[in-house]
Structure 1
Amino acid sequence: MLKKIYGSAIFGVSAQTITVEVNIDQGVGYHLVGLPDSAIKESNFRIQAALKNIGYKIPGKKITINMAPADLQKEGSAYDLTIAIGILSASEQIDNDEIENYIIMGELSLDGSLRPIKGALPITIQAKTEGFKGIILPKANADEAGVVNGINVYGVENILEVIQFLNNEIELQPHQFNIEEHSLELMNQYSHCFSDVKGQENVKRAMEIAAAGGHNIILIGPPGSGKTMLAKRIASILPPMTIEESLETTKIHSVAGKLGSRSLVFNRPFISPHHTISDVALVGGGSYPQPGEISLSHNGVLFLDELPEFKRSVLEVMRQPLEDREVTISRAKFTVTYPSSFMLVASMNPSPSGYFPDDPQNTSSLMEMQRYMNKISGPLLDRIDLHIEVTPVPFDDLSKDRTGEKSEEVRKRVIAARKIQTSRYTNALIHYNSQMGPKELDLYCSLEDNSKKLIKTAMDRLNLSARAYDRILRVARTIADLDQVDSISSKHIGEAIQYRSLDRS
């Protein structure tokens, strides 16, 4: 007897429906075709043990399983439940004419319980798009899938529940997850606050500007000056994620298997990879492509601590995603794209010894300092809008009882500036000032004569590139937005210029 069961495959952050055809005929043997990987080929052993342990069995006949489309590579253990239900249905141990109306996915344990799968959210979205009545998947994925309206989501703990449900022996209630209700409870729950940082008012100001305009920023300072402490708090002043951003970010974390116990990502990601990370781990890739750290940072912050310690090749592959806000991974038969619109926060010491050139503790020669700075390419630095020097906090500031401004107060100003940008770019393909191209710069960054003269002088004296000029205009536009004014003044240009410290080195 032939039966069709439907599963789903993940490509990028999207899903494609897979038809699992199970045919049972006279003879012996178990044949699995359709480009399955090793994990799928091993499913036979998991299925056989699981069914035996719940009182069912695989028939002793010739079983042929085809996973269509046959020319598409399939991978992962999430097809265990799909194949098992197909075998039971084809051997008439399950009698349900509506079985083809469901997407069925789940990894089987040997006792018949179900383990969570990757990509539950994009799989459910695709199932709804294609008009399936419902989706059956592990209970651990129910909240994630339950945010999708218009399709019945059934979260089950074991395969026996699935069999009894399809045989109409028990009823299962569709699972729903109210994303708006939970988002209000869970958004902006950050463990770090700007009020923890004493002193460093100029750096806090620069980080507020970076957050307001979505600008990339690099902090340059000696060990112990507070670079990492400041960087870890920048996510807490970013605007709350919208529901659309939350869903988009959740899809990436879901396909990467990084959701853990979370149902959705409600807070902006803060990703801080070690400097020994490889190119593939940062941007994504592999024979079965997976998102890298920069895609996991989507809608959040990517923090690269001690930037010159990263391999040059790792930093160079990041240039394209910084500009395009997406990563494209090409393979022989397919291409996948992962979104990667993140805010880059980097830190570095001013010299190999860790100190500024004029500091008595600096033991680095001029050649050593030049070699150290050359580890970061000019094109990459040009893509970083703000370069900030972080000096050690004076004792008087450290010993003060008064705490600094709280993150929620800074966030209010950031949100106000972002609202101006949202209104400004309503009909554009960009959202923040940092994303402005030549057209938007001409439209929204017109300068008065005094401002033009000031920026011309800065470009001549600092030998700034054309890209650096554009960065100064973008930062000045953000400073004006924080001041709630339409025109960019020489004061705004002057402040933006002072945030190009590496251009003065």
Structure 2
Amino acid sequence: MHMICKVSSADLFGASVFDVCVEADVAGGLPGFYMVGLPSNEVREAKERVIRAIVNSGFSFPARKVTINLSPAYIPKHGSGLDLPIAVSILAAMGELDPASLKGKLFIGELSLDGSVNKVRGALPITAHAAGADYSAIVLPEGNAFEGAAVEGIRVHKTSSLKEIVSDLNCGREKDVDHVDIEAMLDNACTETGIDFADIYGQESAKKATLTAVSGFHNILYIGPPGAGKSMMARRIPTIFSRMTRSECIEVSMIYSIAGMLEDEKLILERPFRAPDQGITEAALIGGTSSLKPGEITLAHRGVLFLDEFSQFKRNTIDMLRAPLENGSIVINRVSGSTEFPCSFMLAAATNPCPCGHYPDRRFCSCTESEVSRFLSRIKGPVLDRIDICVGMSKVNAEDLRSAANGMTSKDMREMADKAINIQKKRFAGSSVIFNSQMNRHMIKEFCVLDKDTLSVLNKAYERFNMSARGWYKVIKVARTLADLEERERIDKKDVLEALGYRNDLLDH
């Protein structure tokens, strides 16, 4: 008897999800197990897992010619999540399952030799894809059920073993998972991190610069000697970020699901803070390893990418940030195709001003002018032109350390940032723009009107500092955020002067 069965599944290609139809043909002839349809080595290894999982689940593997076709045949298949649909299709072709029970369902899961179903990466975006493709249900490993339940518009069935799902399908009693209330999770998310801007004594101007950066999602660079608190300042940025929205939570959680970094029974509820070290490779930063996993810039999406000791990063690595900072996305091209990852992040970077770290304090700095210039040249160029705020920091003096007053707290700063962000949300309602830093030139003309005196100040600075057109608009965007922090409609001269003050003279060295 010749038997064929089809089962629906899906696979990842970078950030994209595509449908995979798993066809099992159990026919007469010499016994064998054959797989076609551009399976990768990872998928080819599924043959042994599937055979042992079927046998160890109490079923008989057919002593016949078994052929598996993964269509569309022109797209390479890489995911171990195809194990479960392959096994289900074989069992259905053998008559162990009613093919009618498989209609409208998408299957995903990796099999162990004992027949248990293991967690796979990418379950969240695959579930979202299934919901958009009008599947009635998706069958997920128990370890992925929680993330799948975050998607509305589709029933989520969970299974812990091959034997269990076969029994459930035959009896029509699949285990549905209750959908997750993401809004409640966001409301109840713990924001206590144990750190606070109140921990930082002095440095009030740097705190204000950080508040401005967060309020308008501006990129910021801290420059100062060792011990000035640059890293301490940057690592407290998450304590003043606004709460993520439901759509942002899903979006970021999808990225971590694709990367295989989503923990069981959890979603990403806080904005990411990624801090790779100076030795990071271009592929690890940008993404696009052989498995097309997202890089650090994508893992920082909707959050912060912090590059400490910025000048110690390779020049090529720094230059790779240019397009992502400009576009908010990165396209990875490979022989097998291309994929686009989102990467709308706020860049926070910190660097010393010279090799020894103490320039321009000649009491401690012995670096020559050429050494300082050569050191700073590592961070100059296209990427620096995309940094909105440069703030100089010096060591805190003894009087500030003795003072009981420690200035703005994270709670104070978050409240101010939230007010400014809400103003921006109303301003840009109906558009894809959220923050002032994302304004295009048309929006700048509409929302950043300058009076004659203020425009004159800006134009003089443009000529004096030999600013680029991007730098000119950058000052206006920062000035717009400064005005929003004070809840003013118009941008004043003092806003432009303060924004101009966020240019660091050392970078003109």
The interval holding the TM-score normalised by the smaller chain is over 0.9
Kindly indicate whether the alpha-carbon contact (under 8 Å) linking 1:116 and 1:139 is maintained by their aligned counterparts in 2: yes
The CA deviation at 1:76 is 2.2
SS at match of 1:212: helix
2:461 is matched with which residue? 458
The CA deviation at 1:433 is 0.8
Q: d(CA) in 1 for partners of 2:340 and 2:96?
A: 41
Give unpaired runs (5+ residues) of structure 2: none
2:13 is matched with which residue? 11
Q: d(CA) in 2 for partners of 1:469 and 1:176?
A: 48
Q: d(CA) in 2 for partners of 1:16 and 1:478?
A: 41
User: Which letter does structure 1 place at the counterpart of 2:309?
Assistant: E
1:486 counterpart = 2:483: no
Kindly indicate whether the alpha-carbon contact (under 8 Å) linking 2:23 and 2:69 is maintained by their aligned counterparts in 1: yes
User: Which letter does structure 2 place at the counterpart of 1:261?
Assistant: D
Kindly indicate whether the alpha-carbon contact (under 8 Å) linking 1:199 and 1:404 is maintained by their aligned counterparts in 2: yes
Q: d(CA) in 2 for partners of 1:228 and 1:240?
A: 23
Q: d(CA) in 2 for partners of 1:311 and 1:132?
A: 47
1:248 is matched with which residue? 251
Kindly indicate whether the alpha-carbon contact (under 8 Å) linking 2:12 and 2:78 is maintained by their aligned counterparts in 1: no
The CA deviation at 1:155 is 1.8
- Aligned counterparts, 1:299-378, within 5 A: 299-378=302-381
- The C-alpha deviation readout for 1:322-357, integer Å capped at 9, x for no partner, is 011111112345321111110000000000111122
Q: Choose 271-280 or 494-503, whichever is displaced more.
A: 494-503
SS at match of 2:89: helix
Pick one of 144, 147, 152 that aligns with 1:144: 147
Q: d(CA) in 1 for partners of 2:496 and 2:371?
A: 33
- The C-alpha deviation readout for 1:481-505, integer Å capped at 9, x for no partner, is 1011111111111111111114554
Q: Choose 221-230 or 5-14, whichever is displaced more.
A: 5-14
Q: Choose 326-335 or 235-244, whichever is displaced more.
A: 326-335
Q: d(CA) in 2 for partners of 1:228 and 1:166?
A: 55
- The C-alpha deviation readout for 1:277-328, integer Å capped at 9, x for no partner, is 1111111113442211101111000001111111111111110110111111
Q: d(CA) in 1 for partners of 2:192 and 2:37?
A: 45
User: Which letter does structure 2 place at the counterpart of 1:358?
Assistant: D
1:124 is matched with which residue? 127
SS at match of 1:18: strand
The CA deviation at 1:111 is 2.2
Q: d(CA) in 1 for partners of 2:163 and 2:231?
A: 50
Kindly indicate whether the alpha-carbon contact (under 8 Å) linking 1:141 and 1:263 is maintained by their aligned counterparts in 2: no
Kindly indicate whether the alpha-carbon contact (under 8 Å) linking 2:453 and 2:493 is maintained by their aligned counterparts in 1: yes
Q: d(CA) in 1 for partners of 2:431 and 2:186?
A: 28
Q: Choose 271-280 or 399-408, whichever is displaced more.
A: 399-408
TM-score of the aligned structures, taking structure 2 as reference length: 0.95
Kindly indicate whether the alpha-carbon contact (under 8 Å) linking 1:96 and 1:167 is maintained by their aligned counterparts in 2: no
Q: Choose 441-450 or 70-79, whichever is displaced more.
A: 441-450
- The C-alpha deviation readout for 1:52-110, integer Å capped at 9, x for no partner, is 33222321110000000000110021111111111111111223412132111111122
Q: d(CA) in 2 for partners of 1:429 and 1:166?
A: 43
The CA deviation at 1:411 is 1.1
Q: Choose 149-158 or 347-356, whichever is displaced more.
A: 149-158
The CA deviation at 1:454 is 2.1
The CA deviation at 1:402 is 4.1
SS at match of 2:100: coil
Pick one of 116, 128, 150 that aligns with 1:113: 116
- Aligned counterparts, 1:215-234, within 5 A: 215-234=218-237
User: Which letter does structure 1 place at the counterpart of 2:453?
Assistant: N
1:163 is matched with which residue? 166
Q: d(CA) in 1 for partners of 2:431 and 2:100?
A: 49
Aligned residues: 505
Q: Choose 237-246 or 327-336, whichever is displaced more.
A: 327-336
- The C-alpha deviation readout for 1:242-279, integer Å capped at 9, x for no partner, is 00111111111111111133521110000111111111
The CA deviation at 1:162 is 0.9
- Aligned counterparts, 1:258-277, within 5 A: 258-261=261-264, 263-277=266-280
SS at match of 2:383: helix
1:470 counterpart = 2:456: no
Q: d(CA) in 1 for partners of 2:340 and 2:122?
A: 15
1:42 counterpart = 2:58: no
Measured at CA, do residues 179 and 316 of structure 1 come closer, stay the same or move farther in structure 2, by a change above 3 Å? Answer: same
Q: d(CA) in 2 for partners of 1:166 and 1:21?
A: 19
Measured at CA, do residues 116 and 399 of structure 1 come closer, stay the same or move farther in structure 2, by a change above 3 Å? Answer: farther
Q: d(CA) in 2 for partners of 1:191 and 1:327?
A: 34
Kindly indicate whether the alpha-carbon contact (under 8 Å) linking 2:223 and 2:351 is maintained by their aligned counterparts in 1: yes
1:30 counterpart = 2:71: no
Q: d(CA) in 1 for partners of 2:69 and 2:153?
A: 30
The CA deviation at 1:405 is 3.0
- The C-alpha deviation readout for 1:136-159, integer Å capped at 9, x for no partner, is 111111111101122110122222
Q: d(CA) in 1 for partners of 2:19 and 2:355?
A: 53
1:21 is matched with which residue? 23
The CA deviation at 1:221 is 0.9
Pick one of 175, 184, 200 that aligns with 2:187: 184
SS at match of 1:167: helix
Q: CA RMSD, aligned part only?
A: 1.7
1:239 is matched with which residue? 242
Pick one of 395, 398, 411 that aligns with 1:395: 398
Q: d(CA) in 2 for partners of 1:295 and 1:309?
A: 22
Measured at CA, do residues 171 and 138 of structure 1 come closer, stay the same or move farther in structure 2, by a change above 3 Å? Answer: closer
- The C-alpha deviation readout for 1:109-135, integer Å capped at 9, x for no partner, is 222222211111111111112221211
Q: d(CA) in 2 for partners of 1:154 and 1:360?
A: 69
Q: d(CA) in 1 for partners of 2:229 and 2:259?
A: 32
Kindly indicate whether the alpha-carbon contact (under 8 Å) linking 1:188 and 1:240 is maintained by their aligned counterparts in 2: no
Q: d(CA) in 1 for partners of 2:198 and 2:264?
A: 29
Q: d(CA) in 2 for partners of 1:125 and 1:171?
A: 20
User: Which letter does structure 2 place at the counterpart of 1:104?
Assistant: F
User: Which letter does structure 2 place at the counterpart of 1:436?
Assistant: M
Q: d(CA) in 1 for partners of 2:13 and 2:42?
A: 17
1:135 is matched with which residue? 138
The CA deviation at 1:425 is 1.6
Q: d(CA) in 2 for partners of 1:129 and 1:460?
A: 53
1:380 counterpart = 2:388: no
Q: d(CA) in 2 for partners of 1:114 and 1:264?
A: 21
The CA deviation at 1:409 is 2.1
Q: d(CA) in 1 for partners of 2:388 and 2:242?
A: 19
Kindly indicate whether the alpha-carbon contact (under 8 Å) linking 1:49 and 1:110 is maintained by their aligned counterparts in 2: yes
Q: Choose 379-388 or 180-189, whichever is displaced more.
A: 180-189
